[in-house]
């Protein structure tokens, strides 16, 4: 396995993701992710698309795309070319200058030996008549994935916008995204989740009106009270949970471990329980806690999951 495939597989297994789950989130065929992890690059589509899949897969796994893109092989022609070389002609040693005129008879002999050496060299190394090889072609760099501008507005404002499972931000927003088939998801507290597959080829300006979640019937489990009425006084003993928004709740008797309540309570619901109890809230920022008639404030922040024990 190559270094690129090993990093992808290790990151996916560390997140506990099956390769089929990753393919479902990214809306790509499973065989593409398998080819990336097994380094079977010849089974992938053209380089521009394959690099786009690799970048999105790396983002899903929480990896930095740039180092992985650098590991993706790009076929480049082998650089090279004729190398000029020269060989010294045998016997071409330059004669030393004679120290006196008595050595002048050596000059014709040296010239004769040089001519014979040059003729022998030409006989053994005839000049090439073949056409020189053309210079190597320049490496082909695949074009980067196409980018478009995506503008999204929602009603109500402040909804969380996801693209292929990644949070873009809160509406209204504008972002540069890769073109292609993408999955858009919009979520807001108290509203039904909206999801749609978009084909993005050019700049888009989209607007969505979310549908409110229908109110749930008031809880009827033992120890619970109907939704709070302004005219109904708050109990001064035990625990009271007042819902200022929709949240999932589970309440357990701290002594016996018996579950007293579990479900999604709508905004305006008021629940009361004898102490001591353990409360777990899926949206702690909308759950107001009143113990023995004293307001303890909200359990936590909006969207935060909090478990808390109340009473000795």
Threshold 0.75, pTM exceeds: no
- In tens, the pLDDT along 93-139 reads 444 444 445 567 677 888 888 898 888 887 777 766 656 667 776 66
261 vs 224 pLDDT, higher one: 261
Residue 187's pLDDT band, with cuts at 50, 70 and 90, is very high
CA–CA distance, 255 with 162 (Å, rounded to integer): 42
Residue 185's pLDDT band, with cuts at 50, 70 and 90, is very high
Peptide bond into 21 cis (omega under 30): no
181 vs 234 pLDDT, higher one: 181
CA distances from 50 to 29, 53, 65, 145 (A): 12, 5, 13, 10
So what's the pLDDT on residue 88?
39
The answer to whether domain 3-71 and domain 147-209 are alike in fold is no
Is 235's pLDDT higher than 80? no
Is 167's pLDDT higher than 70? yes
So what's the pLDDT on residue 161?
93
CA distances from 126 to 81, 119, 122, 157 (A): 20, 10, 5, 83
So what's the pLDDT on residue 82?
35
CA–CA distance, 279 with 261 (Å, rounded to integer): 9
Is 226's pLDDT higher than 60? no
Consecutive H or E run containing 114: helix 106-124
- In tens, the pLDDT along 80-98 reads 333 333 333 444 444 444 4
Strand partners, 309: 278
The arrangement of secondary structure in 3-71, i.e. its CATH architecture, is Orthogonal Bundle (1.10)
So what's the pLDDT on residue 119?
84
Which numeric CATH code is attached to 147-209?
Answer: 2.60.40.10
Is 280's pLDDT higher than 80? yes
Residue with tokens 């479900």: 263
Residue 234's pLDDT band, with cuts at 50, 70 and 90, is low
50 vs 141 pLDDT, higher one: 50
Strand partners, 265: 247
Residue 222's pLDDT band, with cuts at 50, 70 and 90, is very low
Domain ranges of the chain: 3-71, 147-209, 239-310
Q: Which of 73-82, 101-110, 186-195, 277-286 has the lowest mean pLDDT?
A: 73-82
b/e string for 274-284 if b means 16 or more Cβ within 10 A? ebebbbbbbbb
């Amino acid at each position: 396995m190559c270094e690129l495939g090993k990093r992808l597989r290790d990151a996916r297994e560390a997140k506990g993701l099956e390769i089929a789950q990753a393919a479902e989130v990214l809306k790509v065929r499973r065989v593409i992710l398998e080819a990336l992890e097994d380094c079977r690059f010849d089974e992938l589509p053209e380089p521009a698309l394959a690099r786009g899949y690799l970048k999105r897969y790396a983002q899903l796994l929480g990896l930095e795309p740039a180092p992985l893109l650098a590991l993706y092989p790009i076929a480049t022609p082998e650089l090279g070319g004729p190398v000029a070389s020269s060989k010294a002609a045998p016997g071409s040693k330059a004669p030393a200058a004679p120290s006196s005129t008595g050595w002048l008879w050596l000059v014709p002999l040296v010239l004769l030996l040089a001519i014979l050496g040059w003729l022998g060299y030409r006989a053994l190394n005839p000049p090439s008549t073949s056409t020189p090889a053309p210079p190597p072609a320049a490496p082909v760099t695949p074009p980067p994935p196409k980018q478009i501008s995506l503008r999204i507005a929602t009603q109500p404002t402040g909804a969380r916008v996801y693209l292929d499972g990644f949070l873009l931000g809160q509406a209204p927003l504008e972002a540069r995204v890769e073109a292609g088939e993408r999955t858009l998801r919009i979520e807001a507290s108290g509203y039904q989740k909206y999801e749609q597959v978009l084909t993005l080829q050019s700049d888009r300006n989209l607007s969505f009106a979310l549908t409110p979640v229908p109110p749930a019937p008031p809880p009827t489990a033992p120890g619970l009270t109907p939704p709070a009425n302004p005219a109904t006084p708050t109990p001064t003993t035990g625990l009271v949970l007042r819902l200022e928004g929709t949240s999932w709740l589970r309440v357990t008797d701290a002594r016996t471990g018996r579950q007293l309540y579990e479900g999604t309570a709508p905004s305006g619901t008021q629940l009361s329980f004898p102490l001591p109890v353990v409360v777990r809230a899926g949206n702690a920022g909308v759950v107001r806690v009143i113990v023995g008639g004293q307001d303890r404030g909200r359990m936590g922040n909006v969207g935060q999951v909090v478990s808390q024990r109340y009473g000795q």
